[in-house]
Amino acid sequence: MNGGYIMIDCKGLDLTSREEQTISGLYKDMVTAIKTGKPLVAYNCVWGSNSNSPMTPITFFVQNWTDSLVVGTASILNISCTSADKVTVTSLV
């Protein structure tokens, strides 16, 4: 593991939405972050109807599942992102 951490801008990703979201550049950012071997922190996420209220950054882990899919886990959330920057958030409970 390398010291420090990497921050990833999630550009308004709504963690409560069950609909597919497009977050431009997120796949590339996640793949780049994985290669650093550092812990990851996501910022600029929103929580549904409270999207105007600031939300603290969250730690998560991410791995390449295939050549075109990365999957992250934060608390009870699974965050899947395709190489086309299509993001789906799924509850693990």
Q: Could you give the CA distance from residue 51 to residue 67 in angstroms, rounded to a whole number?
A: 32
Q: pLDDT at position 1, please?
A: 67
Residue range(s) defining the domain that contains residue 68:
6-91
Q: Could you give the CA distance from residue 72 to residue 10 in angstroms, rounded to a whole number?
A: 12
Q: Could you give the CA distance from residue 56 to residue 46 in angstroms, rounded to a whole number?
A: 9
Domain count, the chain: 1
pLDDT at 48 over 80: yes
User: Greater confidence, 11 or 52?
Assistant: 11
Query: What's the pTM value of the predicted model, to 2 decimals?
Result: 0.90
Confidence of residue 38 (pLDDT cuts 50, 70, 90): very high
pLDDT at 53 over 80: no
Whether 1 maps to a domain, the answer reads no
pLDDT at 51 over 80: no
